[in-house]
Amino acid sequence: MNSLKIGVIVLLIGSTALAQSSANAESEDLYYKSLKIYLEENEKEYSKLFADRDFTKAIIMKDSFLPQNLPTSIGKYKVDFIDYEELRKRLKKETNRTLIVAEFGPLLNQGNKFIISIAEYHAKYERRKLSLGLSDGIRITFRFDCGREKFIFETFEFFGV
C-alpha cells in the first residue's frame, strides 16, 4: 500500500513539473509573447473606439512558420487559429459580416533585435471570393540578453495603412 502511495505521489510531482516546464517554455516563445502583447495592447488601445468589438476573442491565421503549440486561450482571451479555407467557409455562411483577422509576419532579425509584426485585416466574402483588406497592426520588438540568456520584450508600436 505504501509503495502505491509513493508511486502516485511521484507521478503527481512528475506531471506537475512537466506542466510547469511546458508553461515556462511556452511563455519564453517569442510568438507566444507577441500574441499575448497583441491581445492585451490591442484591447487597451482600441476598445473605447470600437465598443461593439469583442477584444477577448481573436482569429489568427495559421501559417507555416507559426508554432503549432500556441494556446487557444491566454487569460481572458480566446484565440481561434484558422486557415484561409476555414475563413472562407465561415464568411460564406454570413455574407454581410466582416471579421477582423490577424496574421503574424515572420520573425525579423535586426542585429540584436528581433521583430514580430501582426497585421489585422477586415475579412469579407464578396462576389464569391474571400476579400482581405489590410487595416493596421502592431510591431513588437525583443532583444536578446546574453547575460540572462533569454529574449526580453523591448517595445511595441501600432501601425496603420
The pLDDT of residue 20: 34
The pLDDT of residue 130: 87
Q: Give 109-146 as a DSSP string.
A: EETTEEEEEEEEEEEEEETTEEEEEEEEEEEEEEEEET
Spans of the chain, pLDDT less than 50: 1-25
Q: Read off the pLDDT of residues 12-45 as tens digits, 9 standing for 90 and up.
A: 333 333 333 344 445 679 999 999 999 999 999 9
The pLDDT of residue 64: 83
> Tell me, what amino acid is at 50?
F
Of the CA atoms within 13 Å of residue 158, those in its CB half-sphere come to 13
Bridge partner list, 35: none
Q: What letter does residue 72 receive in the DSSP assignment?
A: S
The pLDDT of residue 27: 65
